[in-house]
Amino acid sequence: MAGKKNQTALVTGGAGFLGSHLCEYFLGRGFRVIGVDNFITGREANVRHLLKQKNFVFLRRDVSAPFGVKERVHYVFHFASPASPPDYLKYPIETMKVGAFGTYQALNLARDKRSVFILASTSEVYGDPEVSPQAEDYRGSVNPVGPRSVYDEAKRFAEALTAAYRREHRLDTKIARIFNTYGERMRPEDGRVIPNFISQALQGRPLTVYGDGSQTRSYCYVGDLIEGIARLAHSSLRGPVNLGNPDEMSVLELAKMVLKITGAKSALVRRPLPEDDPRRRCPDIRLAKKSLRWAPKVALREGLSRTIDYFRSQALGKKI
Ligand code: NAD
Ligand code: UDP
């Protein structure tokens, strides 16, 4: 992004999968970047290479509690939250706290600094959708007391709070509804389907297909997603806007693709379908295409190959 030197971006969840890519993206474009993370699901290793850069500051903080920074901040990217279903099921209260109190703290910071505020929301606000593809005006079908609700309802609350700050404080806010994104720096033991399948294939273990594997998802490569987030931050669009790859496929098809690319001979084993697991998910990205001139470029086969190379380069000691 040209002409943005001497500006500061603060990224909550900066040591996570997406947050670390976001930090790297803005550092690479001349920004000063403040990463904030408490490592609940993130890793120091994700930002170790950035710590040497003079424009990068890392703060170990829980953003659900008040956190202050002295300097001017031009952009606040609120990305802190467990995001993998096994993670948010393991940390249900922390997930609700960071979606609620964490968003409140990040919004207060943006209000005090007059920053642009960008919320990492999710396709999960649509719950188990009755329509497909999902457009931004679809209001969703969420079970408010099911196990996934700690994530879904926290994000719905975060969107509502963000909209309230826009109205009440005239804050420049943006809401990105991110669909399943994958790529380098996902933890092998993260529990989401792509890291699971890749780790299992590389270790010659069976790939765990939940249910009959006919449920669908649409997977976006991390580089494409980060480009979409950056375009949103610099646009006049407030959203909510869907960011994802509309190339929809079943979990079974994904498993077969991972086996093909890795060359693994692993079997597929069935495991119970988790409660409230959405049947299908596919973004309608017409708004992002029109308003941000953005569309994903990296095909799943290419993105998976890059991710598999990354996983190969990691020590894969741990079983899932
Ligand atoms: P991640 O678990 O890799 O990263 C989340 C980061 O937030 C971690 O580093 C974690 O330690 C940090 N964090 C959590 N609670 C915190 C707290 N209270 N204080 C400080 N740091 C805290 O997950 P991710 O996939 O990188 O997701 C990042 C964001 O994007 C999340 O808000 C998630 O809801 C959203 N999102 C991701 C996807 C996806 O497919 N990756 C899809 C939709 C939305
Ligand atoms: N899934 C699977 N095997 C796994 C992990 C997940 O079949 O080892 C399925 C899961 O039930 C869901 C889909 O893959 O239907 C995507 O799951 P993920 O946890 O990646 O993300 P979600 O979209 O459910 O948040």
pLDDT at 111: 98
CA proximity to 316, closest of 208, 203, 183, 204? 203
Pocket of ligand 1 contains residue 38 by CB under 6 Å: yes
Closest atom of ligand 2 to 84 CA is 19
pLDDT bucket at 5, cuts 50 / 70 / 90: low
**Ligand lying closest to the C-alpha of residue 12:** 1
Pocket of ligand 1 contains residue 125 by CB under 6 Å: no
In a domain, 318, yes or no: no
Least confident of 17-31, 102-116, 250-264, 305-319: 305-319
pLDDT at 109: 98
- Note the pLDDT tens digit of each residue in 19-53: 999 999 999 999 999 999 999 999 999 999 999 99
In a domain, 163, yes or no: yes
- Note the pLDDT tens digit of each residue in 238-259: 999 999 999 999 999 999 999 9
pLDDT bucket at 314, cuts 50 / 70 / 90: confident
Average pLDDT, integer, range 76-98:
98
For residue 264, the cross-strand partners are none
What is the residue type of 254?
L
In a domain, 38, yes or no: yes
Q: How far apart are the first and last CA of the chain?
A: 39
pLDDT at 68: 86
pLDDT bucket at 212, cuts 50 / 70 / 90: very high
For residue 56, the cross-strand partners are 33
- Mutation probe of ligand 1 site: the residue of 48, 50, 81, 243 with most atoms within 8 A of C-beta: 81
In a domain, 30, yes or no: yes
pLDDT at residue 3 tops 70: no
**2: CA distance to ligand 1 center in Å?**
28
In a domain, 312, yes or no: no
pLDDT at residue 320 tops 80: no
CATH code of the domain covering residue 237: 3.40.50.720
Query: What is the number of structural domains in the chain?
Result: 1
**Ligand lying closest to the C-alpha of residue 278:** 2
Beta strands, E only, 195-293: 207-210, 216-218, 220-221, 241-243, 248-250, 268-271
pLDDT at 4: 58
Is 113 within 8 Å of 76 (Cβ atoms)? Answer: yes
Is 154 within 8 Å of 216 (Cβ atoms)? Answer: no
- Note the pLDDT tens digit of each residue in 62-83: 999 999 899 999 999 999 999 9
Q: Which domain holds residue 238?
A: 8-186+220-246+279-297
Indicate if 151 belongs to the active site: yes
- Note the pLDDT tens digit of each residue in 120-158: 999 999 999 999 999 999 999 999 999 999 999 999 999
The overall average pLDDT reported for the chain is 95
Is 85 within 8 Å of 274 (Cβ atoms)? Answer: yes
pLDDT at residue 2 tops 90: no
In a domain, 209, yes or no: no
Provide the token pair at 227.
Answer: 């480009």
Distance, CA of 283 to CA of 134 (rounded, Å):
5
- Note the pLDDT tens digit of each residue in 255-301: 999 999 999 999 999 999 999 999 999 999 999 999 999 999 999 99
Q: The whole model's pTM is what?
A: 0.97
In a domain, 63, yes or no: yes
pLDDT bucket at 189, cuts 50 / 70 / 90: very high
pLDDT at 1: 45
4-14 b/e (C-beta count within 10 Å ≥ 16 → b): beebbbbbbbb
In a domain, 95, yes or no: yes
